[in-house]
Amino acid sequence: MRHSPTQFLLLLATLGLISACSLLPKPPVAEKEHHTLVMHGDTRIDPYYWLNQRDSQKVLDYLIAENAYTEAMMEPTIPLQEKLFNEMKLRQKEEDITVPVFLNGYYYYIRYEEGKEYPINCRKKGILDAPEEIILDENEVAAGHSYCQVASLDISPNNKVLAYGVDTIGRRQFTIHFKNLETGKLICSKIDNTTGAIAWANDNHTVFYSQKDKSLRPYKIFRHSIKSPNSQSDALIYHETDSTFDVNVYTSKSRELIMIMASSSTSSEYRYLNANNPLGTFTLIQPRQPKLEYSVEHLGSNFYIKTNWNAENFRVMETPIAKPAMDNWKELIAHRNNVLIMDIDIFKDFLVVKERKDALIHVKVLRWADKKEFYIDFGEEVYTALPSVNPEFDTPLFVYYYTSLTTPGATYEYNMQTQEKRLVKQNEILGDFTPSNYETKRLWATANDGTKIPISIVHKKGIKLNGKSPLLIYAYGAYGYSENPTFDPNRLSLLNRGFIYAIAHVRGGEEMGRKWYEMGKMLNKQNSFTDFIRCTEYLIEQGYTSPDRIIAQGGSAGGLLVGAVVNMRPNLYKGIVAEVPFVDVLTSMLDPNLPLTTGEYEEWGNPKDSALYHYIKSYSPYDQVKPQEYPSMLITSGYHDSQVQYFEPAKWAAKLRATKTDNNLLLLKIDMNSGHGGLSGRYEYLKEQAFTYAYMLNTVGISE
């Protein structure tokens, strides 16, 4: 058997022939450079501020050194990584096809072919037996690129032209291309630095798009003709000058209107234009007001509006297009204290309302003809039911996706006329998988203030509650985003090795209504962290696990969460996985030139306010690193990340290394070719997942 150099030296150390300590690679030591930050009379010294210098050779050398150290320390787990990768790959069908979606005379679907990283987008005219037409093979688009993301495929009203956005860096700056679907050739017209999405006018050559500023905020709407080879002469339609607002454009489901949406995290404003008159002027629906949120759907001569106007959990209003302002809004669905209205979907004869109650999603159908309401029955204790793609307006069929922690995803077609449902596709998990071998349930931990915090949990049946099981606890807890319990075939590689998986539905999401979000943001943000700690303690108290068997995981804002928690209670966890973590919160929120900063003042607070400054500092993971023992940690990032800049996790890792008092493993893994979402390509993603799982298993002493 051949050993790598690292494995051979570790073998000699195991045999007592040499000292193990002298052989282990030494972690990189980041230089300290004195940098002073002063605000509100408070002075902070940031010795790693120099890592903010993107493309500096000194910075690149340090990141390369960190990656080399991580690779060396994880080298003994390579056989486990390969085993995990093969397990996960063998569970999925390499050749697969999505459920066809009918739109404007065509059935659209996506195919995956064996050995190919990216999807192939196809359609058939009129009937499913018609010849297949490949409209975009993303493998061809990605050729020659180490990263590729295709955004928002938008078909012209006459079905002849495809618009699609491409990002080959990972910064979410998309170039829009246009393809003639009759000839199969690209049209000599493209638009750079966009969100990737467009809205077609009904003349089939005019499109509207949103462009980004230097902070990557969508801030301008332009009108473009695909007859023009470039966008230099495009007409500016709308300019959003408030830096806390984003602006986007889309076509209504009725395909009769072009809609411009300007929104912050707590306020919104809509304008509309007849899609038959692309040179016309947009009409304002309701002027923005502080704390007023609304969204708009169109049907006939009316708008249907979901709003929080005098309704914390939202309600649904009806208003005529001729007089759309708030003075003319009439209530269609009332506000309820215990039910959050999440979204509405308009059909010619029905209205579908997605609601959340007691941390579960419910779907209600309202028939326009007689206003009769009924709910779709899902029949499981812990599940997720989400509307699928429903672009067709004149149909009684509502398509939804159903899953749970033990149930692979399934697509159903629900007939709103007859109230009958039909299974269209059950996602197939290859290999030895039987849902009845696993158990899922809903637990409730009690927070420090008496609030009940839901926990979704899954494990193999038959585990003993003796505190010996390894457990992975995950949370996000920000932006009102609710973490739905869904099936992940990759997770079986942990469950089959004895892991318990738990989702802590902490405040900051909207699992228990809008107030749940409000109690986990701004000056209430600490609730997210203490909720997570209490959920962990509860699982220990109930015998599910113990501190030397727990891994905590979070990404982005969830990375902030686990970063704050590990400063507060490092002894509660054996390991921490912080993926693209937002950890230098205070410094980033003080820099309005960074992507997302100004738009997130209403989430974290503007630290130019003294009270908010000191509150953010009190939990900011980077600022709160202290001399104490920390658990083993894996920190990941993408060099081109537009959401959380690479230097936040890099600085955090450097400061932890210089400050902590233990010898526990600390790894920083920065992918130099990707952004916030990690690697593109379905097999590359599996390799990334296998690496993370190998770290988790190794941390709790599982090597096979």
- The rounded distance, in Å, linking the Cα atoms of 660 and 650 is 16
pLDDT, position 14: 41
Helices within 75-119 (DSSP H only): 78-91
Q: What is the distance between the alpha carbons of residues 410 and 606, in angstroms, rounded to a whole number?
A: 43
Q: H-helix or E-strand containing 102?
A: strand 101-103
* DSSP per residue, 259-315: EEEEE-SS-EEEEEEETT-TTS--EESS---TT--EEEEEETTEEEEEE-TT-TT-E
HSE of 447, CA atoms in CB hemisphere, 13 A: 20
Q: Where are the domains of the chain?
A: 145-284, 441-699
Pick the catalytic residue from 584, 641, 674, 680.
641
d(CA 623, CA 118): 40
Residue type present at position 287: P
Let me know if 358 is a catalytic residue. Answer: no
Task: Indicate whether this model's pTM tops 0.85.
Answer: yes
Tell me the two tokens of residue 167. Answer: 């990002």
Rounded CA separation 357/513 (Å)? 7
- For the beta carbon of residue 235, count every other beta carbon within 10 angstroms: 12
Task: Please pick, among 335, 362, 505, 676, the residue that the annotation labels catalytic.
Answer: 676
Rounded CA separation 500/1 (Å): 35
pLDDT tens, residue by residue, 528-573: 999 999 999 999 999 999 999 999 999 999 999 999 999 999 999 9
Residue 22: predicted pLDDT? 52
Q: Can you give the pLDDT at residue 23?
A: 62
Nearest alpha carbon to residue 591 among 580, 603, 607? 607
172-215, pLDDT tens digit by residue? 899 999 999 999 999 988 899 999 999 999 999 999 999 999 88
Query: Which residue, 130, 174, 137, 180, is CA-closest to 159?
Result: 180
pLDDT(9) > 90: no
Is pLDDT above 80 for 20?
A: no
Active site residue 224: no
Q: Is the pLDDT of residue 682 over 80?
A: yes
Closest CA to 528 of 648, 448, 469, 642: 448
Residue 683's pLDDT is 86
Burial bucket for residue 126 (CB in 10 Å: 0-12, 13-18, 19+): exposed
> What pLDDT does 673 receive?
83
Q: Give the Cα separation of 685 and 638 in Å (integer).
A: 13
Classify residue 109 by its DSSP letter. Answer: E
Predicted confidence (pLDDT) at residue 2 exceeds the cutoff of 70? no
The conformation of residue 645, written as its DSSP 8-state character, comes to -
Alpha-carbon span 509 to 429, nearest angstrom: 30
Beta bridge partners of 121: 110, 136
| 573 close to 536: Cβ distance less than 8 angstroms | yes
Superfamily holding 145-284: Prolyl oligopeptidase, N-terminal domain (2.130.10.120)
CA distance 261 to 165: 20
Provide the pLDDT confidence category of residue 311 given band limits of 50, 70 and 90. Answer: very high
* CA distances in angstroms from 4 to 11, 71, 77, 100, 209, listed in the order given: 10, 12, 12, 48, 53
Look up 676 and say whether it is catalytic.
yes
Reply yes or no on whether the pLDDT at 382 is more than 90.
no
CA atoms within 13 A on the CB side of 487: 22
CATH architecture of 441-699: 3-Layer(aba) Sandwich (3.40)
Q: Quick one: pLDDT at residue 62?
A: 95
Q: Using an 8 Å Cβ cutoff, are 579 and 554 in contact?
A: yes
Average of per-residue pLDDT values in the chain = 93
pLDDT band, residue 150 (cuts 50/70/90): very high
Q: Which two tokens stand for residue 326?
A: 């708030």
CA–CA gap between residue 152 and residue 148 (Å, rounded):
14
| Exposure on the CB side of residue 264, measured as CA atoms within 13 A | 21
Q: Which structure tokens are listed for 102?
A: 């009918």
Q: What is the dihedral of CA 446, 452, 458, 463, to 10 degrees?
A: 30
Q: Are 161 and 204 in contact (CB under 8 A)?
A: yes
Rounded mean pLDDT of 117-138? 96
* Catalytic position from the list 556, 588, 637, 680: 556
Answer for the pair 400, 376: CB distance below 8 angstroms, yes or no. Answer: yes
DSSP state for residue 350 in the 8-state scheme: E
Q: ∠ at Cα 360 (354, 362), nearest 5°?
A: 30
- Nearest CA-CA partner of 499 in 467, 471, 540, 468: 471
Q: What is the mean pLDDT of residues 495-513?
A: 97
